[in-house]
């Protein structure tokens, strides 16, 4: 696993330190007589600039116009990038338009008045496709919202590396179609509280690093990277209700590689209510530790939660992969991508028929400190679970089936049999499934189909509640 971003990806600069007001001193001036005087200086802050809506039309626009109406729309994104987008402003791209330019938003909105980028008019989503820029869309400001764009195309004109690169905080992507990149969305390590909601990711299947160790040398035997729908280096993101397909590509190191959601050095991210089809792996988590045991991830990688996700497809080989601190046993060589702490994997449904498929993997001396899995429904052809150090209540109320099961013990309340998914309604449980009523805690309000959890009188294991009339 080599999950570092390309060197070309620009990181945000550090913020200047603020001087606390309590440390500032007033100068005593004047003599006794002046001390009797009160001088009051009232400073009225300048009124915030009013928000403006700008229009961009790649067919009929003209950069010499004002850009403030459909009739006076600009033509290029370079003109839009130079606009002064104040809090509450909007940038509207005409449907049916195509731009082979980078969209760059450096200004920030506020929680109450975000800066919004979205489509206008009728027809197909406006398309932003690749240039020689690393990202098709770069969001470096805070409180930005982007709706209804197509970012990237497959093949010629694809985004150079990422569709979206997010560097600011509290940014939101919704109803976008993202395709053809090495990373459909890249969340930078300085980006916090990103929301990726209700987007469609299709065939983000390009390897950014794919070196042949037989030609380049053994040091290149574990460096392949790419084919991510979403690559998370930041913290506190919410990734929800997305449809993610086709993040898989040939790899010299791993035969195939790719992931729907890859978390590298990110913490407290919540990944829920997503559909993942034909991605090589749904999720893989890692950090960066030197051979001497010194972390290269100062705030650690911990407390990521995955729930109510459906994972299937003939090409998918993995559900969830995470790891502990040592390659083989305590005191053995350091696992360079571990340890990842306190990952929670609950109420997910997995159906993987590939001959190499493994449902949940927690290796490298992984223990209960690294993984808790509960209320999942999993069929994976090769192994339902590989987590030799995970025991007891950290492995509870799951339905598990595959050619092999390798955990520290049988856990608590688990059933080892086919979870009985409905082939006509992928990953919904059929009558008689041991997943029905197996759950003990309602971790979410609704299942992946929007059905209230517990509405049938019990809580199911897996991503879907049982509905008797669903067939």
Residue 47 confidence (pLDDT): 60
For residue 142 the two structure tokens come to: 């805070």
Q: Are 416 and 400 in contact (CB under 8 A)?
A: yes
Give SS3 for 22.
Answer: helix
Q: Nearest 5 degrees, angle CA 417-CA 419-CA 422?
A: 145
Q: Three-state DSSP class for 35?
A: helix
What angle (nearest 5°) sits at the alpha carbon of residue 194, between those of residues 190 and 198? 150
At residue 45, the 3 state secondary structure works out as: coil
Alpha carbon 317 to its chain's center? 20
Does residue 41 have a pLDDT over 80? no
Residue 160: CA count within 13 A, CB half-sphere: 16
CB 383 within 8 A of CB 406: yes
218-261, pLDDT tens digit by residue?
Answer: 887 878 788 999 999 999 999 999 999 999 998 888 888 999 99
Length of the chain measured in residues:
471
Mean pLDDT, all residues of the chain: 89
How many CB atoms are closer than 10 A to CB 243? 16
**Residue 45: pLDDT over 80:** no
Q: Would you give the distance in Å from CA 456 to the centre of its chain?
A: 32
Among 103-117, 291-305, 421-435, name the one with the lowest average pLDDT: 291-305
Q: What is the pLDDT of residue 46?
A: 52
The owner of tokens 């915030």 is 48
Higher pLDDT, 4 or 286: 286
Mean pLDDT of 142-146: 98
3 state SS of 185: strand
Neighbours of 434 (CB within 10 A): 20
The answer to whether the beta carbons of residues 178 and 184 sit under 8 Å apart is: yes
For 70-128, give the DSSP string: GGG-B--HHHHHTS---TT-EEEEETT-EE-S-EEE-----SSS-EEEEEESSSSPPEE
Residue 7, pLDDT > 80, answer no
The token pair that represents 235 in the structure block:
């913290």
Q: Which 3 state secondary structure label does DSSP give 32?
A: helix
Closest CA to 167 of 145, 148, 142: 142
Band (pLDDT 50/70/90 cuts) for residue 210 is confident
**Distance, C-alpha 281 to centroid of its chain:** 14
Give the H or E element holding residue 61: none
Determine the pLDDT at residue 469: 61
Alpha carbons 285 and 198: distance in angstroms, whole number: 22
- Residues 349 and 306: beta-carbon distance below 8 Å: no
Contact 162, 182 (CB under 8 A): yes
Write down all domains in the chain, each with its CATH number in brackets: 50-181 (2.160.20.10)
Strand order in the sheet with 228-232: 103-105, 135-139, 162-166, 183-187, 228-232, 259-264, 281-286, 318-323, 358-363, 383-387, 404-407
* Torsion, Cα of 342, 346, 348, 354 (10° steps): 50
Q: What angle do CA 339, 340, 342 make, to 5 degrees?
A: 125
Residue 44 binned pLDDT confidence (cut-offs 50, 70, 90): very low
Return the pLDDT at 223. Answer: 81
- What is residue 470's predicted lDDT score, i.e. its pLDDT? 52
Q: pLDDT tens-digit profile of 68-108?
A: 999 999 999 999 999 999 999 999 999 999 999 999 999 99
Nearest Cα residue to 339 out of 360, 326, 321, 324:
324
Where does 140-182 show beta strands of DSSP type E? 144-147, 150-151, 162-166, 172-174, 177-179
- Output the six-digit token pair for 361: 């993997």
Would you report the helix, strand and coil content of the chain in percent, each value rounded to 5?
5, 35, 60
DSSP-assigned letter for residue 42: -
Q: What are phi and psi of 184, to 5 degrees?
A: -60, -50
pTM, rounded to two decimals:
0.89
CB neighbourhood size of 35 (10 A): 10
């Amino acid at each position: 696993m080599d999950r570092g971003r390309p060197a070309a990806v620009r990181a945000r600069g550090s913020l200047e330190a603020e001087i606390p007001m309590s440390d500032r001193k007033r100068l005593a001036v004047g003599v006794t007589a002046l001390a009797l005087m009160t001088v009051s200086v009232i400073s009225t802050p300048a009124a915030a600039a009013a928000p403006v809506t700008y229009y961009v039309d790649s067919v009929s626009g003209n950069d010499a116009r004002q850009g403030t109406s459909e009739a006076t729309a600009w033509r290029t994104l370079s003109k839009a990038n130079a606009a002064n987008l104040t809090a509450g402003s909007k940038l509207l791209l005409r449907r049916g338009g195509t731009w082979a330019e980078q969209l760059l938003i450096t200004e920030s909105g506020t929680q109450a008045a975000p800066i919004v980028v979205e489509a206008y008019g009728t027809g197909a989503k406006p398309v932003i496709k690749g240039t020689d820029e690393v990202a098709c869309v770069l969001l470096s400001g805070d409180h930005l919202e982007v709706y209804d764009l197509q970012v990237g195309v497959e093949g010629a004109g694809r985004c150079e590396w990422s569709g979206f690169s997010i560097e600011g905080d509290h940014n939101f992507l919704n109803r976008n179609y993202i395709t053809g990149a090495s990373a459909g969305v890249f969340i930078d390590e300085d980006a916090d509280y990103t929301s990726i909601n209700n987007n469609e990711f299709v065939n983000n299947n390009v390897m950014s690093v794919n070196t042949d160790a037989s030609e380049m040398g053994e040091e290149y035997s574990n460096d392949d990277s790419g084919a991510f729908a979403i690559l998370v280096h930041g913290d506190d993101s919410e990734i929800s209700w997305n449809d993610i397909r086709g993040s898989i590509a040939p790899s010299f190191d791993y035969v195939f590689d790719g992931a729907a959601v890859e978390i590298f050095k990110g913490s407290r991210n919540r990944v829920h209510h997503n559909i993942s089809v034909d991605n090589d792996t749904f999720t893989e988590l890692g950090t960066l530790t030197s051979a001497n045991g010194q972390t290269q991830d100062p705030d650690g990688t911990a407390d990521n939660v995955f729930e109510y996700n459906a994972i299937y497809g003939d090409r998918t080989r993995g559900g969830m992969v995470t790891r502990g601190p040592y390659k083989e046993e305590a005191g053995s060589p350091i696992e360079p991508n571990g340890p990842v702490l306190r990952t929670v994997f609950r109420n997910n449904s997995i159906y993987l028929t590939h001959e190499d498929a493994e449902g949940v993997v927690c290796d490298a001396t992984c223990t209960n400190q690294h993984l808790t899995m509960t209320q999942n429904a999993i069929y994976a052809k090769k192994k339902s679970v590989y987590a030799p150090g995970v025991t007891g209540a950290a492995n509870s109320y799951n339905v598990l089936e595959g050619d092999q099961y390798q955990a520290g013990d049988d856990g608590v309340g688990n059933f080892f049999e086919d979870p009985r998914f409905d082939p006509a309604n992928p990953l919904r449980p059929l009558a008689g499934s041991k997943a029905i009523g197996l759950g003990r805690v309602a971790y979410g309000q609704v299942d992946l189909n929007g059905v209230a959890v517990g509405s049938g009188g019990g809580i199911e294991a897996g991503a879907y509640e049982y509905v008797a009339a669903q067939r």
